[in-house]
Amino acid sequence: MKCRTPLDAIQWKAAILESMNSVGRIWLENHPYGSTFPVRRAQSVQWFVDGRSFMEHAANMMELAREEIFIAGWWLSPEIFMKRPPVEGNRWRLDEILKVLRHPDHYLSSGTFFWAHHEKLIVIDQLIAFVGGVDLCFGRWDDCRHKLADCGSVKISEQQNICLGGDFSMVCFSLS
């Protein structure tokens, strides 16, 4: 670091040492598992293993949104049902929860090229965030049983079975 005067250098050194010995001390200590970050206790975080619990919780939080919901992902299917089976009509369909869908404009003439990353991110009102894990798309909804089809048949009549809210990358058969 270059300083204009020797006094500036002394003051900078004192400020850096003060920071290292107070709020910065946490970064100089050894942390579990060789991490560079300290363990943080009493944080409001939750782990999700299955698509069902993730999508249900995300839908509940989206319902609380007042200003904005930002979603970034590799694949987004607005037609998916966040809560299943869909016993309340289309209420829990993603495109019904979201009031406006905005896709960025990507045109070759603008110099912006089509690209995608694999991060999965949902931020609600810049207060609640879901980071990593599951794209909001077909083929991601599952539960602890990890069945090939995500819902049972709903009988409309004796001759017809349908799979409402089905994940269309999975197959639903009527065996009757």
Same domain, 114 and 27: no
Q: What is the pLDDT of residues 11-55, one digit of tens each?
A: 999 999 999 999 888 888 899 988 988 888 888 888 999 999 999
Q: What is the number of domains present in the chain?
A: 2
Tokens of 143: 């539960």
Q: Is residue 6 part of a domain?
A: yes
The pLDDT confidence band at residue 68, using thresholds 50, 70 and 90, is very high
Mean pLDDT value across residues 114-133: 85
Same domain, 69 and 124: yes
Taking the C-alpha atoms of residue 70 and residue 101, their distance in angstroms, rounded to an integer, is: 10
> How many helices and strands, by DSSP H and E, does the chain display?
3, 5
Taking the C-alpha atoms of residue 83 and residue 92, their distance in angstroms, rounded to an integer, is: 6
The pLDDT of residue 64 is 95
Q: Is residue 132 part of a domain?
A: yes
Same domain, 85 and 62: yes
Residue 32's domain comprises 1-42
Same domain, 69 and 102: yes
Q: Is residue 28 part of a domain?
A: yes
CA-to-CA separations, 63 to 30, 84, 99, 149, in angstroms, rounded? 41, 16, 11, 27
Q: What is the pLDDT of residues 71-112, one digit of tens each?
A: 988 888 899 999 988 888 899 999 999 988 776 666 666 665
pTM of the predicted model, to two decimals?
A: 0.64
* DSSP SS3 for 43: coil
Q: Is residue 169 part of a domain?
A: no
Amino acid type, 125: D
Same domain, 98 and 139: yes
Same domain, 78 and 96: yes
Percent of the chain with pLDDT over 70: 75
Same domain, 38 and 108: no
Contact 80, 167 (CB under 8 A): yes
Contact 106, 83 (CB under 8 A): no
Same domain, 54 and 138: yes
CA-to-CA separations, 121 to 21, 91, 113, 153, in angstroms, rounded? 36, 22, 21, 32
Q: Is residue 117 part of a domain?
A: yes
Q: Is residue 96 part of a domain?
A: yes
Same domain, 117 and 51: yes
* C-alpha neighbours within 13 Å on the C-beta side of residue 74: 11
The pLDDT of residue 63 is 95
